Each structure stands twice: as structure tokens, then as C-alpha cells.
Amino acid sequence: MYRITKKESLNPTVTFMEVEAPFVARKAEPGQFIILRVDEEGERIPLTIAGCDREKGTVEIIFQIVGATTEKLNHKNVGEYLQDFVGPLGKATETEGLKRVCVVGGGVGCAIALPVARKLHELGVEVTSIIGFRNKDLLILEKEFAACSDRLIVMTDDGSYARQGNVTVPLKEMLEAGEQFDEVITIGPLIMMKFVVLACKPFGVPVTVSMNPIMIDGTGMCGGCRLTLVQDGKRVTKFACVDGPDFNGYEVDFDEAMQRGAMFRDFERQAYEETCNLFREVKA
């Protein structure tokens, strides 16, 4: 059992938790993830490691409340326990040998981008961070990004905070102005990452994307997290849980990934509503 030591609401739909998991904390690196179960009857869900404290033996997770399991997880409080908390899984983000990097995060994907930006900053890399949200109310982790970035640009789709527009606007401006990056690392909604890749392509800047498709076992055996990459003109199947979650953005078939990601959206919504109704009945 894994005890929750800290919990904080970052915005109406996103929650931060710190969990006691010393064996995970000892090995975790930016880009890796865990798979948890809330209780004995719960499903397995993957969540990227948002940070860890090796001395305290704690791991940070940040999750968006979108389905039944994240709704159940959000009802857990400090001092309570999670049934399972397995990791670290996946490959860590490659950070060695880089000097100038642009980290682009969108929405709750910023929780995944933050530890990457922190690690790069610790290595002495010049970090430019661009983070984007639909509106001011959904903004998260601005101070944390400011602390590990040489330059931080905040964007909101509706202009309710900072600069209006999506994350590709300042990225294109910098590239068109002749700025050079060893790599662009982008993490967020699939459609956002697709357009970040398209924005970088004319300039030949390497782009790493973090893919978080449907996962079940986290070992590559179930096949649920399969992705199609195009390498040397051939379509190749990879598994995000063991081959990733980071991939060369130019190789990813984003259209297929988006189609697969939407397959269970109606089921997820139904399960979420049923869980919400259950909690309402318990309170009543």
C-alpha cells in the first residue's frame, strides 16, 4: 500500500499528489511513468512521474479528472492509501549532450514537461519553455517553469492571461528569427504535438514527442499502447510503454494515434458519470 502524503488542487480539473513510494523514487527519471490502482477493484492507469524526492522516498503525480479512475483517485485524501503504484516504467527522456532546448507543454502535459525542463536546467542547458492553456483558469505550474527556464512564454487560447494564441505562434517566431535549438521537446495533446512538429519541420530542428496512448499492463505484452512510426518509408509498430514514451516526432503517425485515442471516449465518459453519481449517493 502506498500512502498519500500531499494533495493539492491545481485547477478545477487537475490535481497534484505526492505518494510514498521509496523504490520508485530511488530510480525515477524525467519522462518515465508509473501504473497505479486506486483499490483492489480498480483498473490500471498510467501516470507520468511529475517529480520525486529520493531522500523522502516520495513520488509526485499530476492528473486530470477525465474518467472513472481519476475521479476515484481524486476522492483519496492525505493519509489514505493507493493499492498499487508500480514503476518507474518506460525510457527516460534523453538529455545528455544538449545545450539549447525549447520545451513546449500544453495543458496537463505541462506536468510531464516540467521534470524534463528541470533536469535540463540542472545540467546547465539553456532552456526556453513555452506552456499553453485554453484559458487562465486552467493555468498550472507557471512558477515552477519560471524557476527552471532561462525564458518562459505563457500562452492562452482566449487571451485571458499572458499572450493570446497557441504554443506554435512564439515557436515559429523564434525559428523564423533564426534562433537555433539543439532540440524541441513537446508534451501535450496529440493535435498540439502534431502542429509543433509541423512548425519545426521547415527548419530541420529535431523534435521529441511524448506519447501517452491507452496502456494496460505497461510491459508491452497487451499491445494496447501500440503506435505506428514511419521509418525509411516503412510503417513500423512500436509500443509506447517499452519503446517510449518519447519518440521522434517526425516519424509518428499522429492521425492514427488520434483516432485510436478517441476509440473509448464515450465509454470513458459514461464510466465517469456513473462514478460521480455513486459518490453523490454516498454523500447523500
Task: Specify the CATH number for the domain of residue 52.
Answer: 2.40.30.10
pTM comes to 0.89
Q: Is residue 250 part of a domain?
A: no
Q: 211 vs 147, 173, 218, CA distance in Å? A: 26, 26, 13
Distance CA 165, CA 158 (A): 7
pLDDT for 225 equals 81
On whether both 80 and 104 belong to a single domain, the answer is no
Q: Is residue 255 part of a domain?
A: no
On whether both 108 and 72 belong to a single domain, the answer is no
Of 210, 244, 269, which residue constitutes the final position of a domain?
210
CATH number, domain with residue 119: 3.40.50.80
On whether both 119 and 106 belong to a single domain, the answer is yes
Q: Is residue 249 part of a domain?
A: no
Encode pLDDT of 101-148 as tens digits.
Answer: 999 999 999 999 999 999 999 999 999 999 999 999 999 999 999 999
Domain span at 169: 93-210
Residue 169's CB: how many other CB atoms inside 10 A?
A: 16
Helix (H, G, I), strand (E, B) or coil at 206: coil
Encode pLDDT of 169-201 as tens digits.
Answer: 999 999 999 999 999 999 999 999 999 999 999
pLDDT for 272 equals 43
Of 89, 112, 142, which residue constitutes the final position of a domain?
89
On whether both 27 and 80 belong to a single domain, the answer is yes
Encode pLDDT of 10-45 as tens digits.
Answer: 999 999 999 999 999 999 999 999 999 999 988 888
On whether both 105 and 76 belong to a single domain, the answer is no
Question: What is the number of domains present in the chain?
Answer: 2
Q: Is residue 264 part of a domain?
A: no
Maximum average pLDDT range among 186-190, 224-228, 261-265, 272-276: 186-190
Q: Which of 214, 245, 210 is nearest to 109 (CA)?
A: 210
